Structure 1
Amino acid sequence: MSNIAIKIENVSKEYCLGAIGGTTLRDEMHRLADKVFHRMPVNADYGKKFMALQNINLEVKKGERLGIIGHNGAGKSTLLKLLSRVTAPTTGSISYNGRISSMLEVGTGFHGELTGRENIYMNGAILGMTKREIDSKIDQIIDFAEMQQFIDTPVKRYSSGMYVKLAFAVAAHLDNEILIMDEVLAVGDMKFQQKCLGKMGDASAQDGKTILYVSHNMNTVRQLCERCVVMEHGKIIFDGNVDDAVDIYMGSISSEKSNHVELGRRQRPSYSTNKFQMQSVDVENKNCIVKADESELALTLNVLVAEKAQNMFVRFFIFDCARRIYVAITTAYIERIDYVGINHFRFKLDLTHLFPGVYSLRVLFSTGNMLSQLVYDDLEEVCRFERIYDLANINVNYKKNQHGYFNLGEATVETVQ
Structure 2
Amino acid sequence: MSRPIIEVRNVSKLYRLGSIGAGTFQDALKRRWALMLGREDPLKRVGEKELMIPRDHPQAGSEPNTFWALKDVTFDVREGEVLGVIGKNGAGKSTLLKILSRITEPTEGRIVMRGRVASLLEVGTGFHPDLTGRENIYLNGAILGMRTREIDARFDDIVEFSEVERFIDTPVKRYSSGMYVRLAFAVAAHLDPEILVVDEVLAVGDAEFQKKCLGKMQDVAASGRTVLFVSHNMNTVRSFCTQCVFIEAGRATAGLPVPTAIARYMGVSPVHASTSVDMTTLPRQFSALGDSIRFTRVDVLSHPVRETEDICFGLEVNAAESVKGLLLGAYIGVPGQRCLGVAQTELPGELKHGKNYLKLRIRGGQLASGEYVAGFFIRDSFRDYDYVREFLPFVVEPAVTDDWTSYWHPSWGSVRFACQVSAETEQDAAAAEVSHSAVSLSEQDARP
Contact 2:202 2:210 (8 Å CA) reproduced: yes
Contact 2:84 2:244 (8 Å CA) reproduced: yes
CA distance in 2, matches of 1:92, 1:125: 29
Report the counterpart of residue 363 of structure 2 in structure 1.
Answer: none
Q: Which has the larger radius of gyration?
A: 2
Which SS does the other structure have where 1:112 is aligned? Answer: coil
Contact 2:259 2:334 (8 Å CA) reproduced: no
What 5-or-longer segments of structure 1 have no aligned partner? 254-258, 261-284, 294-389, 392-417
Q: How much is the aligned-residue C-alpha RMSD, in angstroms? A: 2.9
Which SS does the other structure have where 1:149 is aligned? Answer: helix
Higher strand share: 1
Match of 1:193 among 210, 213, 226: 210
Report the counterpart of residue 107 of structure 1 in structure 2.
Answer: 124
Which SS does the other structure have where 2:9 is aligned? Answer: strand
Report the counterpart of residue 345 of structure 1 in structure 2.
Answer: none
Within-5 A mapping of 1:375-386: none
TM-score normalised according to structure 1 size? 0.58
C-alpha displacement at 1:31, in angstroms? Answer: 2.6
Which SS does the other structure have where 2:167 is aligned? Answer: coil
Contact 2:14 2:66 (8 Å CA) reproduced: yes
* Change in 2 beyond 3 A, CA 1:27/1:154: farther
Report the counterpart of residue 365 of structure 2 in structure 1.
Answer: none
In the alignment of these two chains, the number of paired residues is 265
Match of 1:240 among 252, 256, 259: 256
Which SS does the other structure have where 2:263 is aligned? Answer: helix
Which SS does the other structure have where 2:124 is aligned? Answer: coil
C-alpha displacement at 1:98, in angstroms? Answer: 0.4
Contact 1:164 1:187 (8 Å CA) reproduced: yes
CA distance in 2, matches of 1:128, 1:286: 44
Report the counterpart of residue 13 of structure 1 in structure 2.
Answer: 13
Match of 2:77 among 60, 80, 84: 60
What 5-or-longer segments of structure 2 have no aligned partner? 45-49, 53-62, 270-282, 285-332, 342-411, 414-448
Asked if residue 82 in structure 1 is aligned to residue 99 in structure 2, the reply is yes
Report the counterpart of residue 282 of structure 1 in structure 2.
Answer: none
Asked if residue 125 in structure 1 is aligned to residue 123 in structure 2, the reply is no
CA distance in 2, matches of 1:99, 1:69: 23
Within-5 A mapping of 1:401-416: none
CA distance in 1, matches of 2:86, 2:22: 33
| Amino acid in structure 2 at the alignment position of 1:49 | T
Bigger mean CA deviation after superposition, 240-249 or 134-143:
240-249
| Amino acid in structure 1 at the alignment position of 2:211 | Q
Report the counterpart of residue 225 of structure 1 in structure 2.
Answer: 241
Q: Identity of counterpart residues, as a percentage?
A: 55
| Amino acid in structure 2 at the alignment position of 1:234 | G
| Amino acid in structure 2 at the alignment position of 1:221 | V
Match of 2:199 among 182, 186, 206: 182
| Amino acid in structure 2 at the alignment position of 1:242 | V
C-alpha displacement at 1:193, in angstroms? Answer: 0.7
TM-score normalised according to structure 2 size? 0.55
Which SS does the other structure have where 1:164 is aligned? Answer: helix
Within-5 A mapping of 1:124-203: 124-203=141-220
Within-5 A mapping of 1:252-331: 289=337
Contact 1:106 1:184 (8 Å CA) reproduced: yes
Contact 1:13 1:91 (8 Å CA) reproduced: yes
Deviations 1:171-192 (A, max 9, x none): 0000310000110211011110
| Amino acid in structure 2 at the alignment position of 1:140 | D
CA distance in 2, matches of 1:191, 1:163: 16
CA distance in 1, matches of 2:192, 2:124: 20
Report the counterpart of residue 228 of structure 2 in structure 1.
Answer: 212
